[in-house]
A and B are shown apart, each in its own frame.
Chain A
Amino acid sequence: MSSRIEILNDGGFRSDGRLPSELRSLAFDLSPQAGADGSAMVSHGLTQVLVSVFGPREAKSRAQTMHNRAALNVEVSVAPFSTSDRRRRGRGDKRVQEIVAMIKSTFEPVVQTALYPRSQIDIFVHVLQQDGGVLQASINATTLALTAAGVPLLDLVCAITAGVHSTSPDSPLLDLTTLEENDCPSVTVAVMPRSGKLTLVSLETRVHVDVFKGILEVVGEAGKVLSLEMKRAVLARTKMLKDAMGAGLRTAEFAEDAGGDE
């Protein structure tokens, strides 16, 4: 079925009307969950991921306690209604385990765990909707949730998926949908935008070396764009919090003034 849909048509547009290097609409919602220390909901088009972060808090079990740094505990749950074929994926699912391992190893060198010895940071990832790029959305949401929780990070990690269609190996496609993921080889890369270095590179399909070089270049640029958007979201939330604190101060002053008049 998917072979009938043109991934890239003659006019250079993709099946959903985007240009090759165009990202899907991005939405960042910081702290949608009041109970968590930090949480973030990230949507890349129709892919939606909610991450809540608890901690740094005391490690639950002795076995997990590390005397010199905090342990990262990542759990991923994929909602059964997130894909068109309704299917329950438990925690034992191989693909889920792989996402857990990748998120964990991406963030271990980025979170400054050495500041919190004998504690743990829990990261709970909920995949609510899937339309390609689940790993990228999970990583971006985790970055924002950790930021919202006030956990010190070396950089805002931005993940992005890129693929190449056989008809145009020179123009890599960014931010693939499920349809495109099934038809093109794809690479997921996590960039640290300040240094331009990569913390995660994951490729699972056959790609020529020269094409891979092209993808890496484009992905670096995309990471910078993403990081600007993420920074904007974080700044907006911080500003909102600051204003809210200011509002509290003003009421206090008002109450004080009122008290003084009596």
Chain B
Amino acid sequence: MRPPSPSIPEKEFLVASLAQNLRIDGRSLLEMRPTRVLAHVDAKMVRPPPERPYEGIITVHSEISPMASSLYEPGRPSEEEVALSRMLDKVLRRSDTVDKEALCVLAGQRVWHLRLTIHCLADAGNLQDCACIAGIAALKHFRRPEVEVVGDEIIVHPPTSRAPVPLAMHHTPLNLTFAFFPDASTTSSSSSNAPVDTTSLDGPVPSSTSPAPQMLLDPSPLEATLASSTLALALNSQRELCVVHKAGGMPLSPADVLRAVNVATDRVRELVSRIDRDISTDWNSRGVEVQ
């Protein structure tokens, strides 16, 4: 079943409030709000595939159950779920977040297989960003048991005898989603195919005259359905972009994309330092004894 589309008054109210730079849940335009996601990492030792004998394996499983929102149904993965797992795969696995070679125990014989499971508990909009933060935090928080290799023998030390070791991580990419609305003061047409002067292919360049679209960070479900385009960026605190995904919707000028990138660099730095702080508080509260 397709979710019911928002009613016309709902839509008009949202657009009218955006015209006054207000969002209907009281946030400012570039403010974020968390959805709830649970992420969990476990590790086991497996034999590596013959084509990559020196690398550990990371798999990301994501699941959106009907618990998250009434929009999701059990059974076949929905379009959102496919998009989510694809994005998580790009951000958490393909961007080389975790040093895979450090997961190798004995070349060609034994490597660690990390399994990251992401359960979406409550969808209050922008599940992708939240799932990504959860995944990164879980990977940062995870400690694997220490192993020792003597000759061909592998000794796994239980956490009681030797302190577990954290994963070697190269960087912490975080995903941020932006929603774009055409500037409400100029466009009144509601269709996505806004009429454009198509008299000649060599016509004037409209971009210089059209005003910049309004940009929101962390869209709520209503904002995400009504937005004329969305842009997903994943970047780390070293100002490196890992994933840029903008497909479809209203075309954006390069300047708009760069404006979003600039906002995102600051936000990511704040988020990463917050994740680091929370993880270190948690770690300190555990009182690990080193014997």
Q: Give the chain A neighbours of B239 by CB distance below 8 A.
A: 208-210
Partner of B245, one of A195, A201, A207, A210: A201
Q: Give the chain B neighbours of A154 by CB distance below 8 A.
A: 193, 196, 198
A contact patch SS: mixed
Partner of B246, one of A198, A204, A209: A198
B193 & A216 in contact (Cβ 8 Å cutoff): no
Give the residue among A94, A97, A203, A206 with the most B Cβ atoms within 10 A.
A206
Task: Say which one of B16-24, B57-65, B250-258, B276-284 lies at the interface with A.
Answer: B250-258
Complex Cα distance A152/B171, Å?
A: 46
Q: Give the chain A neighbours of B198 by CB distance below 8 A.
A: 152, 154
Task: Say which one of B28-36, B38-46, B202-210, B218-226 lies at the interface with A.
Answer: B202-210
B240 at the interface (CB under 8 A from A): yes
B247 & A106 in contact (Cβ 8 Å cutoff): yes
Complex Cα distance A154/B261, Å?
A: 27
A216 & B251 in contact (Cβ 8 Å cutoff): no
Complex Cα distance A155/B201, Å?
A: 7
B252 & A198 in contact (Cβ 8 Å cutoff): yes
B258 & A202 in contact (Cβ 8 Å cutoff): no
A5 at the interface (CB under 8 A from B): no
Cβ proximity bits A214-247 to B, threshold 8 Å, 1 near / 0 not? 0011001000000000010000000000000000
Q: Give the chain B neighbours of A42 by CB distance below 8 A.
A: none
Q: Give the chain B neighbours of A231 by CB distance below 8 A.
A: 201
A179 at the interface (CB under 8 A from B): no
B188 at the interface (CB under 8 A from A): no
Within 8 A of A (CB), among B223-255: 229, 231, 235, 238-254
Within 8 A of B (CB), among A182-220: 187, 192, 194-210, 212-213, 216-217, 220
Complex Cα distance A204/B233, Å?
A: 10
Complex Cα distance A98/B83, Å?
A: 9
Q: Give the chain A neighbours of B205 by CB distance below 8 A.
A: 194-196
Complex Cα distance A194/B291, Å?
A: 69
B201 & A101 in contact (Cβ 8 Å cutoff): no
Chain A residues bordering chain B, tally (CB within 8 A): 43
B contact patch SS: mixed
Q: Give the chain A neighbours of B261 by CB distance below 8 A.
A: 209, 212
B241 & A207 in contact (Cβ 8 Å cutoff): yes
Q: Give the chain B neighbours of A101 by CB distance below 8 A.
A: 247
Identity of the chain A residue whose Cβ is nearest the Cβ of B265 in the assembled complex: A209
Cβ proximity bits A86-115 to B, threshold 8 Å, 1 near / 0 not? 000000001001100110111011001110
Partner of A195, one of B95, B207, B229: B207
* Known A202-B244, A207-B240; contact A197-B251, beta-carbon cutoff 8 A: yes
Complex Cα distance A69/B82, Å?
A: 25
B162 at the interface (CB under 8 A from A): no
B240 & A206 in contact (Cβ 8 Å cutoff): yes
* Known A156-B201, A194-B203, A196-B253; contact A202-B247, beta-carbon cutoff 8 A: yes
Q: Give the chain B neighbours of A194 by CB distance below 8 A.
A: 201, 203, 205-206
B258 & A213 in contact (Cβ 8 Å cutoff): yes
B241 & A209 in contact (Cβ 8 Å cutoff): yes
Partner of A203, one of B96, B191, B229, B243: B243
Partner of B257, one of A97, A98, A198: A198
Complex Cα distance A154/B229, Å?
A: 17
Q: Give the chain B neighbours of A69 by CB distance below 8 A.
A: 193
B244 & A187 in contact (Cβ 8 Å cutoff): yes
A199 & B253 in contact (Cβ 8 Å cutoff): no
B240 & A196 in contact (Cβ 8 Å cutoff): no
Complex Cα distance A202/B238, Å?
A: 20
Complex Cα distance A212/B192, Å?
A: 28
B90 at the interface (CB under 8 A from A): yes
B274 at the interface (CB under 8 A from A): no
B27 at the interface (CB under 8 A from A): no
Shortest B244–chain A CB gap in Å is: 4
Complex Cα distance A101/B209, Å?
A: 31
Shortest A236–chain B CB gap in Å is: 14
Apart from the given pairs A154-B196, A196-B207, A198-B252, 18 other A-B contacts in the complex at a CB distance below 8 Å: A98-B86, A108-B192, A155-B201, A195-B206, A195-B251, A196-B253, A198-B246, A198-B251, A199-B247, A200-B246, A202-B244, A204-B243, A206-B241, A208-B240, A209-B240, A212-B244, A213-B258, A216-B257
- Rank and list the top 7 A-B pairs by shortest CB-CB distance, nearest first: A105-B248, A197-B251, A105-B247, A203-B244, A201-B246, A195-B207, A216-B254
Could you list 9 A-B pairs, sorted by A, with CB under 8 Å?
Answer: A105-B249, A109-B193, A194-B206, A196-B207, A203-B245, A206-B241, A208-B240, A208-B241, A209-B241
